[in-house]
Structure 1
Amino acid sequence: MTSEITSEKINTAAQAFSHWKTVNITERIACIRQLKTTLLDNKRQYAEMITAEMGKPITQAVAEVEKCGVLCDYYIENAATFLQDRIIKTEAAESYATYEPLGVLLGVMPWNFPFWQVFRFAVPSIIAGNTIVLKHASNVPETAQLLETLFTKSNFPVGIYQNLPISSKEVAAVIANPHVKAVSLTGSENAGISVATEAAKHLKKSLLELGGSNAFIVCEDADLDKAVSTAVNARMQNAGQSCIAGKRFLIQKNIYESFLEKYILAVSQLKMGDPMDPATQVGPMARADLAQEVEEQLNRSIAMGAKVVLGGHRNDAYFEPTIVTNITADMPVFNEEVFGPVAAIITFDTIEDAIKISNNSRFGLGVSVFTQNIPFIKTKIPAFEEGAVFLNEMIKSDPRLPFGGVKKSGYGRELSEEGIREFVNIKTVLINN
């Protein structure tokens, strides 16, 4: 796409914003309701495109599309409440805060959840009155165009949502465009640094949802079978290509052998194969070079003493579900984000030790803790340096819950009430007689 066409699209978005911001929220919500209908009426087509472009097993791709429908329902039901004026008691005759849209927003989105990531950024932003230009990942171009077509088919005015088929090198120029008021990126740490730097140059707001190396802690009193089954899904779903996947599995010493035996058995039974086959649980990674990166991280860890107890082999873009033990904190499988189906198993003595190991990461997206002593673990929640703590559950995004991280996992929050207020002007109004 030429820079002239990109500028034209941004101009179109700006013109659309001048009208869209005046549209009553009930009309905006009506468009989202139509979006949900169109989405679900065509969910098989969209899921098949996700699978074809980035290799996600078809059953997981269908589930991703359906989850987007759940998000639409959530904001259809709650957006008007979230955006209503907030009365603030002061000495004045009236004082309140309003939530007004910013304008044209740039989204830079990844390939691993190519529908969900876009929806959780775009839907609340559009309901709030903003317009969207979106640069999607280069390896999902057809999905990116399908998303624009989906919004067009859902009775949105021209310019509310537009696809920008541009390269990463062209993102800086879009951020610099005076019509673009803010940017949201979901992606790698390096991509986040680049986008945040460009946004800062122009004093524009940025939201970053970056990598993670989530700890998955299993205490000695946990329901072991539940912990094992959840741990399989937490690491191996989407071939491990998830920022919120459990990556470092911290097991209390006196249940380590029992957990490992059960975990190896459960992971070994996963069906790997054609992602279009509904029976497939682990498909290929999105690209062969990404699988090579995981292989390289694993090999460096092995050279440092890590032991592969299951898997460890790559065939082009397919990477076997892998379990690694004998982990130390200086290994790539511990201190880097491994974006593939490799589970690093680590032991700990006390919960204080587990917290220390968990926090020994530049990332801070989320942590899962499995235990039956909920009152005790609740007292430890403030000690975790994370954006989320889930007890007896894997970390997952939910439209009802704020989502985001700390440290090198980024800043800002998506979803829930916080998410719809990320890209608004919180305007204070005070009136005296």
Structure 2
Amino acid sequence: MSHYQVVNPATGENLATYPIATDEQIQQAVTSADKAYRQWSRTTSVAKRAALLKRVAQLHAERRDELAAIIVKEMGKPIAQAQGEIDFCVDIYNYYADNAETFLADESIPSPAGGKAFIRRQALGVLIGIMPWNFPFYQVARFAGPNLALGNTIVLKHAPQCPESALALESIFNDAGFPEGAYVNVFATNEQVADIIADPRVQGVSLTGSERAGAAVAETAGRHLKKVVLELGGSDVFLVLDTDDIDGAVEMAVAGRLENSGQACNGSKRILVMDDIHDEFLEKFAAAMGKTKPADPTDEDAALGPLSSSNATATLERQVMTALEQGAVAKVGGENPEGNFFAPTVLTQVTPEMDAYHEELFGPVAVVYKVSSEDEAVELANSSSFGLGSIVISRDQEKALRVADRLEVGMVFINEVGGEAAELPFGGVKRSGFGRELGRFGIDEFVNKKLIRVKG
């Protein structure tokens, strides 16, 4: 990697190139963040930090159209979804601004020995955030919002295809009035990131990305005894146990699979349907997926844009072709993409012997399975090495809760697609990573829960 580059995935046009930071610039960034931390965490009240986060939320709202246009240009997200991403960021920053004082208040511990004891939550120091391209603003919000409220400072390394998102975010924090060094963007290489993690002034690292990247970062962080939060891949199930409304279930399944053009870690990639409704569901699901056509992401009515890059397209195309060669059947789609525009594809007859059974398919490709019992559905769902989220559809809430309890995942949404919210913790288990973002738990990751005991 020699530069950060904006390549419009809809057209293939190279729009802009930005140079990699020098090692001296990286050192300056960490020094600035460390200097800011020593003032920011100790002399700035939680209320003051919250007020600045409120301003960040306001600036996101004021610059909504500008920021959304950057997302469309950099990674091809349909414009309406890009605007929705900015709206979610507004919610997140407001949430932490509104709740920071409550979340960070001293927590009393009853002590039979008398006196008093309490937990005081304090910042750790400089954190490095390593963010992906698929949600260029939202991923940063759920990391930066709680940690800046807490008093940590941020060095942010964005995806190489999102340099303008990165610069726009740094401008927002500066314009909001954060002190110099509280939020610093760096156009760093992977090797420079490893050096940042190793720096004794840096106290933690948060990464959202691939398993490979997560393993590399965790290895480096572990070697240097740094706290890590990892949000990695997913192969979430959309499990239809029963329904009185197959059309409604199909609509939710399509939405769950095609969000962000299928490029969401918690997208519904595996569709599990009970055998008594499987055939009807499959026919309607395949038809609905086939009717959704990739479109110009600048079109306000576009529901599906291009994949984010030529590399992403080539990877998904190879995965689908391999699945077909190994015996899977394409109920719809499966043809070669036009540029980065990938037709929605529904695969069936995928077995454990096939690569597609175990892979994460990052794009508008769904695999449909027929199951005949709760036990079979749970066993299939849990056979994945991933454990991020899942959706369970049932008119019987008790049954849905029973199944939800057995799923080896970090999140279960019952009869709901797109249920994520600022107050709800986000994260997974197994190879989907560890740690939580958002909600009360998101502010409790990079924190010193300091015990203070006063003798009676």
For the aligned pair, the TM-score class normalised by the smaller chain equals over 0.9
The match for 2:448 is: 425
Q: Which of 316, 322, 333 in structure 2 is aligned with 1:300?
A: 322
Query: What are the equivalent positions in structure 2 for 1:49-128 lying under 5 Å apart?
Result: 49-90=70-111, 91-128=113-150
Looking at structure 1, the residues matched to 48 and 288 of structure 2 have their Cα atoms a distance apart, in angstroms, of 49
Q: Is 1:264 the equivalent of 2:286?
A: yes
**Which amino acid in 2 is paired with 1:60?**
Q
Between 109-118 and 296-305, the greater mean CA deviation after superposition = 296-305
Find the aligned partners of 1:379 and 1:301 in 2 and give their Cα distance: 33
Amino acid in the other structure paired with 1:32: L
Given the alignment, which residue of 28, 44, 64 partners 2:49?
28
Letter in 2 for 1:167: T
* Structure 1 counterpart of 2:240: 218
How much has 1:220 moved relative to structure 2? 2.9
- Secondary structure of 2:316's match? helix
Residue aligning to 1:365: 388
Q: Which amino acid aligns with 1:66?
A: D
TM-superposed CA distance for 1:318, in Å, is 1.2
Corresponding residue for 2:370?
347
Corresponding residue for 2:342?
319
Match of 1:201 among 218, 223, 228: 223
Q: Is the 8 A contact 2:233 2:432 kept in 1?
A: yes
CA contact (8 A) 2:108 2:119 kept: yes
**TM-score if structure 2 supplies the norm length?**
0.93
Amino acid of the residue matched to residue 16 of structure 1? Answer: A
Moved more, 214-223 or 251-260: 214-223
Q: Indicate the residue corresponding to 2:357 in structure 1.
A: 334
**Residues 1:276 and 2:298 are matched in the alignment:** yes
Spell out the pairing of 1:384-423 with structure 2 (5 A cutoff): 384-394=407-417, 396-423=419-446
CA distance in 1, matches of 2:356, 2:301: 29
Contact 1:102 1:425 (C-alpha < 8 Å) held by counterparts: yes
Contact 1:245 1:395 in 2 (8 A): no
- 1:1-12 correspondence to structure 2 within 5 Å: 1-12=21-32
Q: Using the TM superposition, give the Cα deviation of residue 399 of structure 1 relative to its aligned residue in structure 2, in angstroms.
A: 1.1
- CA deviations 1:110-146 (Å, max 9, x no partner) are 0000000000000100000000000000011111111
CA distance in 1, matches of 2:244, 2:371: 14
Shift of 1:396: 4.6
CA distance in 2 between counterparts of 1:276 and 1:379 reads 43
> Counterpart amino acid of 2:109?
I
**Native 8 Å contact 2:26 2:192 kept in 1:** no
Partner of 2:406: 383
Please say if residues 293 and 343 of structure 2, whose CA atoms lie closer than 8 Å, have aligned partners that are also in contact.
no
1:331-385: CA deviations, max 9, x gaps?
A: 2332111111101010000011100000001000011110111112222333111
Q: TM-score, normalised by structure 1?
A: 0.98
Shift of 1:33: 0.7
Structure 1 residue matching 2:127: 3-state secondary structure: strand
Alpha-carbon separation, structure 1, partners of 2:49 and 2:244: 46
Q: Matched residue of 1:113: which SS?
A: coil
1:233 to 255, 268, 271: 255
- In 1: Cα distance, 2:293 partner to 2:48 partner: 46
- Cα shift readout 1:276-318 (whole Å, capped 9, x = no counterpart): 1111111111101111101111111111111111112312211
| Counterpart contact for 1:246–1:394, Cα < 8 Å | no
Corresponding residue for residue 9 of structure 2: none
Q: Supply the AA of the counterpart residue of 2:433.
A: G
Q: Distance in 2 between matches of 1:238 and 1:149?
A: 25
- 2:59 is aligned to 38
In structure 2, distance between residues paired with 1:101 and 1:226: 46
Q: Compute the displacement of 1:222 (Å).
A: 5.2
Give a deviation string over 1:172-208, Cα, whole Å, max 9, x none: 1010111110000000000000000000011010000
1:143 aligned onto 2:165? yes
Q: Give the Cα–Cα distance (whole angstroms) in 2 for the partners of residues 274 and 75 of structure 1.
A: 35
Query: Is the 8 Å Cα contact of residues 217 and 251 (structure 1) preserved in structure 2?
Result: yes
1:155 maps to which residue? 177
Instruction: Give me the whole-angstrom Cα distance separating, in 2, the residues matched to 1:176 and 1:120.
Output: 24
- 1:43-64 Cα shifts (integer Å, max 9, x gaps): 1000000000000001100000
2:196 pairs with 1:174:
yes
Q: Distance in 1 between matches of 2:106 and 2:23?
A: 39
Asked if the contact 2:294–2:342 (Cα under 8 Å) also holds between the matched residues in 1, the reply is no
Gaps of 5+ in 2: 1-20
CA distance in 2 between partners of 1:396 and 1:242 (Å): 14
Which AA in structure 2 matches 1:431?
V
State whether residues 234 and 266 of structure 2, in contact with CA within 8 Å, keep that contact through their aligned partners in structure 1: yes
Identity %: 40
Report the Cα offset of residue 268 of structure 1.
2.2
CA distance in 1, matches of 2:418, 2:388: 9
Q: Say whether residues 1:133 and 2:136 are aligned partners.
A: no
Alpha-carbon distance in 2 for matches of 1:287, 1:168: 20
Shift of 1:395: 5.8
Query: 2:14 aligns to what?
Result: none
Q: Distance in 1 between matches of 2:380 and 2:58?
A: 45
Amino acid at match of 2:328: A
Counterpart residue type for residue 199 of structure 2:
N
Decide whether the 8 Å contact of 1:367 with 1:395 is kept in 2: no
Find the residue that maps to 1:216 and give its secondary structure: strand
Partner deviation per Cα, 1:372-428 (whole Å, 9 max, x = no partner): 111122223331111011111136532111111000000001111110011110001
